[in-house]
C-alpha cells in the first residue's frame, strides 16, 4: 500500500467538515469551567532491561513515551496516562497510580494509567520480581530501580505541566475504518475445531488465509478543543501493537510510528495512542512478521487515525463526570494455579525462566486477592462521549458490548489498565474450549463481572 502524503496542520484542520470547523463561532466563547494540560516523558529503558519471557533489551529502535493529560473541572482533577510499556501489574500498577495522582493533585482512583502493550518494552510486577529473587530463580522480570526512575520522570512531567493548563470548551469524536490491519486470534481448523493459535506475526499462509474473525475495525478518536484549537487527542484501536518482537530491540512498534505521523500533522495538539480491548485481536492475518511489514501496518493505522480526525464532530463540553466501580474476580481454579502449586514450581530453579515467571505472576495476583483488593473500572463521562478503562487483556467483544450499552453515545473502551488478570475471554470462548495459560481469573464467570461493571460506569444501570 502506498503511503499517503502527510498533511500540514492547516490542511489537516481544513479536512474537518465545515459544520464542525464553525463550532466556536456558532456557540460563542463563554468561559468554560474545564481546563486541560498535557504532558509527555521519555520512558525508554536502558540496555539490559528485562522484557517479557526473559528477553533482554539490547538496542533502541525508537523511544518509548508516556503521554497524557490532566483534566480540571468542577470535580477533583482526573489524570490519564498512556505508557508505551507492555504491562503494569498488582503493587506496581497501584504505585504508578499513586505517583501520577500525587503529581496531578488528585486521588489514586482518579488516575487512569494505561499500557499500550508493545512487547519490546518493560513488563512490570515488582512483587513477582521479589518472589523470584526469594526463590533463587536466575533471571529477572523487571528492574525496580529503573521502574522507579521512569515513574518519577512521568510524575515530574505532570508537575511541570500544571502551569500550562488551557481552557477546554468542546470535545471532538470521530471514527475511522481501517483496512487489512486487524484480525482475531480465533479461527476454525480444517477439521472443525476452534483454535486461538493465530499470533501477531503469523508465518503460516494457511492461517493467514482464514477469515478475519470478530474485530472492531474502527479507530476511535476523542479530542479536546479550546475554540478552534485542538489541545489533545486520544486515538484508540483494538489490536495487539506488535509487528515483530522478542529480540530485545526496544520499540513503540507500528502504533508509535502512526502516532508520530499524526503528531507531525497536528503539532499543536498532543497525540496520544491507546490500545482498546485487544486480548484476542492481532495483525496476524495481514502480517507475516517480516520487518518490512512494520511501516505498512503503521500506514494502515495512520490512515484510520487520519480518517477519524477528518470525521471529527465537536460538541460543547458541559460535563466531565468521573465514575468508578470495582471488579471482584475469582481466582482461576485449574491444575497448576493454586498458591501451593505455584510456590512449589518456583523451587524448580533448574527449569527455564519462561517456565517459572508465570508462577510468580500468579502468586502476586493471589496475594492481592487475599488482601481483598479488587480491580478498578473507571470511566469519564463527557455526556456525548465516555472513556472507560478495562483491565488487562480483555477480549474485543467487551469493547463492542461497551458501545452497545450506550448506543446513543461515543464509547471509547480501553484495555490494559491493571494487567494482573491476564487474558479475559468471554463465556462463549470458554464454552468453545479456550484454555490459555496466561489467565489467572475464573472464566466463564469473568464475563458477568465485567459486563455488570460496564453497566454501572457507563450509566446504563
9: pLDDT strictly greater than 50: no
Residue 360 lies in a domain: no
Distances (CA, A) of 117 to 111, 188, 354: 18, 27, 19
SS3 percent helix, strand, coil of the chain, rounded to 5, is 35, 25, 40
Residue 78 lies in a domain: yes
187 neighbors 276 (Cβ within 8 angstroms): no
List, for residues 446-457, the tens digit of each pLDDT value.
Answer: 999 999 999 999
- Output the pLDDT for position 24: 42
List, for residues 152-199, the tens digit of each pLDDT value.
Answer: 999 999 999 999 999 999 999 999 999 999 999 999 999 999 999 999
List, for residues 387-403, the tens digit of each pLDDT value.
Answer: 999 999 999 999 999 99
List, for residues 53-65, the tens digit of each pLDDT value.
Answer: 899 999 999 999 9
* Average pLDDT over every residue of 303-313: 97
Number of structural domains the chain divides into: 1
* Beta strand segments in 211-340, E: 218-226, 229-237, 249-250, 270-275, 281-282, 313-316, 321-327
- Output the pLDDT for position 460: 65
List, for residues 338-356, the tens digit of each pLDDT value.
Answer: 999 999 999 999 999 999 9
Residue 437 lies in a domain: yes
Assign 212 a pLDDT band (cuts: 50, 70, 90): very high
According to DSSP, residue 55 is labeled -
Residue 37 lies in a domain: yes
Distances (CA, A) of 296 to 73, 179, 253, 305: 41, 11, 11, 14
Assign 461 a pLDDT band (cuts: 50, 70, 90): low
Across all residues in the chain, what is the average pLDDT?
Answer: 93
358: pLDDT strictly greater than 80: yes
- Output the pLDDT for position 459: 86
- Measured distance between the N- and C-terminal CA atoms of the chain, rounded to whole angstroms: 45
DSSP labels, 48-74 = T-BBGGG-B--EESS--EEEEEEEESS
Count helices and strands (H / E) in the chain: 14, 24
4: pLDDT strictly greater than 60: no
List, for residues 28-85, the tens digit of each pLDDT value.
Answer: 557 899 999 999 999 999 999 999 989 999 999 999 999 999 999 999 999 999 999 9
339 neighbors 402 (Cβ within 8 angstroms): no
Q: How many CB atoms lie within 10 A of CB 156?
A: 13
- Of 333, 336, 332, 450, the residue nearest 399 (C-alpha): 450
Residue 338 lies in a domain: no
By residue range, what is the domain housing residue 90?
9-328+372-457
240: pLDDT strictly greater than 70: yes
Residue 344 lies in a domain: no
* Average pLDDT over every residue of 364-392: 97
* Alpha helices in 2-116, H assignment, sequence order: 9-14, 18-21, 23-27, 90-104
Residue 59 lies in a domain: yes
Assign 276 a pLDDT band (cuts: 50, 70, 90): very high
| Residue 402 backbone dihedrals phi, psi, to 5 degrees | -60, -45
Q: How many CB atoms lie within 10 A of CB 73?
A: 18
Tell me the three cell numbers of residue 26: 456558532
Residue 429 lies in a domain: yes
* Average pLDDT over every residue of 404-410: 96
Amino acid at each position: 500500500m502506498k503511503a499517503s502524503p502527510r498533511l500540514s496542520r492547516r490542511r489537516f484542520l481544513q479536512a474537518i467538515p465545515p459544520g464542525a470547523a464553525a463550532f466556536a463561532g456558532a456557540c460563542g466563547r463563554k468561559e468554560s469551567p474545564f481546563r486541560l494540560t498535557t504532558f509527555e516523558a521519555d520512558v525508554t529503558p536502558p540496555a539490559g532491561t528485562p522484557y517479557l519471557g526473559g528477553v533482554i533489551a539490547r538496542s533502541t529502535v525508537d523511544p518509548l513515551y508516556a503521554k497524557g493529560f490532566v483534566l480540571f473541572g468542577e470535580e477533583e482533577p482526573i489524570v490519564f496516562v498512556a505508557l508505551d510499556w507492555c504491562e503494569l501489574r498488582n503493587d506496581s500498577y497501584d504505585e504508578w497510580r499513586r505517583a501520577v495522582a500525587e503529581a496531578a493533585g488528585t486521588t489514586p482512583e482518579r488516575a487512569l494509567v494505561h499500557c499500550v502493550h508493545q512487547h519490546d518494552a518493560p513488563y512490570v510486577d515488582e512483587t513477582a520480581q521479589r518472589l523470584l529473587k526469594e526463590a533463587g530463580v536466575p533471571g529477572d522480570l523487571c528492574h525496580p530501580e529503573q521502574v522507579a526512575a521512569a515513574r518519577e520522570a512521568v510524575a515530574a512531567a505532570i508537575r511541570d505541566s500544571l502551569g500550562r493548563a488551557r481552557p477546554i470548551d468542546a470535545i471532538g469524536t470521530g471514527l475511522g475504518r481501517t483496512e487489512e490491519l486487524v484480525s482475531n486470534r480465533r479461527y476454525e481448523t480444517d477439521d472443525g475445531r476452534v483454535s486461538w493459535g493465530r499470533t501477531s506475526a503469523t508465518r503460516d499462509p494457511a492461517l493467514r488465509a482464514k477469515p478475519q474473525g470478530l474485530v472492531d475495525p474502527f479507530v476511535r478518536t476523542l479530542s479536546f478543543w479550546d475554540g478552534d484549537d485542538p489541545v489533545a487527542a486520544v486515538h484508540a484501536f483494538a489490536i495487539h501493537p506488535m509487528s515483530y518482537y522478542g529480540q530485545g530491540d526496544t520499540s513503540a512498534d507500528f502504533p508509535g510510528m502512526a502516532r508520530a505521523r499524526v503528531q507531525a500533522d497536528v503539532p499543536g495538539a498532543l497525540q496520544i495512542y491507546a490500545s482498546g480491548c485487544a486480548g484476542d485481536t492481532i495483525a496476524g492475518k495481514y502480517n507475516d512478521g517480516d520487518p518490512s511489514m512494520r511501516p505498512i501496518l503503521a500506514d494502515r493505522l495512520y490512515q484510520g487515525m487520519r480518517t477519524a480526525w477528518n470525521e471529527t464532530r465537536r460538541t460543547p463540553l458541559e460535563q466531565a463526570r468521573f465514575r468508578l466501580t470495582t471488579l471482584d474476580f475469582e481466582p482461576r481454579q485449574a491444575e497448576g494455579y493454586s498458591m501451593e502449586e505455584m510456590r512449589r514450581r518456583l523451587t524448580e530453579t533448574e527449569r527455564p525462566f519462561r517456565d517459572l515467571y508465570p508462577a510468580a505472576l500468579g502468586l502476586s495476583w493471589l496475594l492481592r486477592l487475599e488482601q481483598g483488593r479488587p480491580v478498578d473500572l473507571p470511566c469519564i463521562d463527557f455526556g456525548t462521549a465516555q472513556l472507560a478503562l478495562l483491565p488487562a487483556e480483555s477480549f474485543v467483544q467487551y469493547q463492542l458490548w461497551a458501545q452497545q450499552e450506550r448506543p446513543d453515545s461515543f464509547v471509547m473502551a480501553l484495555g490494559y489498565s491493571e494487567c494482573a488478570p491476564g487474558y479475559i475471554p468471554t463465556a462463549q470462548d470458554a464454552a468453545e474450549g479456550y484454555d490459555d495459560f496466561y489467565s489467572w481469573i475464573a472464566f466463564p464467570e469473568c464475563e458477568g463481572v465485567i459486563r455488570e461493571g460496564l453497566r454501572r460506569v457507563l450509566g446504563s444501570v
